[in-house]
Amino acid sequence: MSTTQAFSILAIDDDPMFLRSLKRILINTPYEIATKSDPLQGLTALATKPYDLVLLDLKMPGRDGMSVLEEIMQNYPDLIVLMLTGHGGVQDAVKAVKLGAADFLEKPCPPNILCKVLAHYFAVWEQRKLLENVNQQAFDFPDLVGESPAIEEMKNLIARVAVSDAPVLVLGESGTGKELAARAIHHHSLRKNGPFVVIDCAAINESVLESELFGYEKGAFTGADRPTQGLIRAADGGTLFFDEIGELPLKMQAKLLRTLQEREVRPVGSTKSQPVDIRVIAATNRDLEQEVAKGHFRADLFFRISAIPIIQPPLRERSEDIPLLVTHLLENLSTDRPKEMGADALRLLQAYHWPGNVRELQNVLRRALALAEEEVILPADLPATLVVDCACEKDCSPENDSLEAYEQTAVENALRKTGNNKRQAANLLGISEATLYRKLKQFGLSA
């Protein structure tokens, strides 16, 4: 951090024409600008005077920008570094972001885009100054429940990336809670007082997706009787979360990429673009690299959104977290009298493979609360399919040979609660009617 109030910028680039142009562009701005055409001179300048932001070229003779970046991050970890890359070097620039760069710009960069980006990081710098003397609360993740190595690693990564403005891609199976990770990043970022807007790419009909995202002008189409800002502009100053971005149509991918690159939105039916300041977090359960290879997802958009990947671990890989998750979920689900999970039932839950992850666990607990007649949830209160699937697991119950009895009791309880209504009982148990009738025959119960 510089000792003066001016926002000091150091540009390291071997192109003297670019450096002269940069000085002309920024001549009437409140920034101090210094330029170096040699990477070693740039490192020397950083050692002799503190700077607030570095513009660093990725490709330079002698020593490339990647190795310079590594040295800068090692010695000045809080320094804002923006990478400059020529056309086609976006993938390398993404690697640079993973090493600690705040963002990257493609050359040639239009002056208006460069000024917008620098203005944004100037605002980030000012926010940091305001926070310097404030005692910050420790990072807390009340909704990301768990203490397993996998979940702790994810929390640590969230804590590191939250204060930057780099795009984040949350990867994980359906039901793992990817939106919770995105909300944690937003909550601990400098944008936490701004909006957090969710776009469910799988839920919005493609025919209205463009107008939903980018907004529209009055008269843009039939029924457009008033202008609408759209979800992207609704997130201005905050975080925009694209849930299941792998479902986004290619046409919308191209328009979104333009928005992210130019930091502006053009509503449907308008000839003018509106500036927008957002941080993008995306999530998907797809392998986007494979989708790129198949031509289903744009490579340039993938590189733009995947600067920092965060993996949300599946529940089967952190079964040690299930007791904590069960306690947390039961507290949120129980509406009448408190209930706790019995030891035998808990062992069944930990033995199950959870294809639907935390979302499935939540649904299982909701059904168990509906079935349970005691203060303690028993194996008989769990879905019959879960008990059957656990039967082949060792030590999932203190008496493995009683699992069939647990299943039979669950079926009997469901029939009793539903007044012997087979369809309702099957729904309560989470099985089909055909499966229920097979179980009735198996247990010698009247159909």
Q: Could you tell me which of 406, 392, 394 has the C-alpha nearest to residue 345?
A: 406
CB 67 within 8 Å of CB 20: no
The DSSP secondary structure of 106-130, one letter per residue, reads EESPPHHHHHHHHHHHHHHHHHHHH
Architecture of domain 149-311: 3-Layer(aba) Sandwich (3.40)
Encode 166-188: b = buried (16+ Cβ within 10 Å), e = exposed. bbbbbbbbebbbbbbbbbbbbbb
Class of domain 7-131: alpha beta
Judge contact between 374 and 409, C-beta under 8 A.
no
Q: Would you identify the CATH topology of the domain 315-442? A: Helicase, Ruva Protein; domain 3 (1.10.8)
| Chain segment 124-134, per-residue pLDDT in tens | 787 666 555 44
- Whether residue 108 is preceded by a cis peptide bond, meaning omega within 30 degrees of 0, is yes
What distances in angstroms separate CA 136 from CA 117, 152, 190, 430, one per listed residue? 27, 20, 12, 46
Q: To 5 degrees, how large is the angle CA 162–CA 202–CA 224? A: 100
User: Same CATH fold, 149-311 and 7-131?
Assistant: yes
Which tokens in the block code for residue 447? 């159909």
Dihedral through CA 362, CA 365, CA 371, CA 373, nearest 10? -150
Tokens for 168? 């984040």
Domain ranges of the chain: 7-131, 149-311, 315-442
Residue 321 CA to its chain's centroid (Å):
21
Pairing mode of beta strands 274-275, 264-265: antiparallel
CA-CA distance, 313 to 299, in Å (whole number)? 25
Our CA angle for 244, 250, 230, nearest 5°, is 65
Instruction: Give the chain's largest Cα–Cα span.
Output: 89
Q: Which stretch of DSSP H or E encloses residue 105?
A: strand 103-107
Residue 201 amino acid letter:
C
Residues contacting residue 194 through CB under 8 Å, at least 6 positions apart: 235, 236, 237, 238, 239
d(CA 429, CA 361): 14
The pLDDT tens digits along the chain (447 residues) read: 344 468 899 999 998 999 999 999 998 888 999 999 999 999 999 999 999 999 999 888 878 889 999 999 999 988 889 988 875 566 777 778 778 888 888 888 888 888 888 888 887 787 666 555 443 445 677 889 999 999 999 988 888 888 778 889 999 999 999 999 999 999 988 888 999 999 999 888 887 888 889 988 887 777 777 888 889 999 999 999 999 999 999 989 999 998 988 889 998 888 888 899 999 999 999 999 899 889 999 988 998 888 788 999 999 999 999 999 999 999 888 666 667 898 888 988 988 889 999 999 999 998 888 888 888 888 888 887 777 666 544 444 434 445 566 677 777 777 777 778 888 778 777 777 778 888 887 777 766
> In what order do the strands lie in the sheet containing 31-36?
31-36, 7-12, 53-57, 80-86, 103-107
The model's pLDDT over 396-417, given as tens digits with 9 standing for 90+, comes to 443 444 556 667 777 777 777 7
**Strand blocks (E) in 236-373:** 239-243, 264-265, 274-275, 279-284, 308-311, 340-341
Close Cβ partners of 332 (under 8 Å, ≥ 6 residues apart)? none
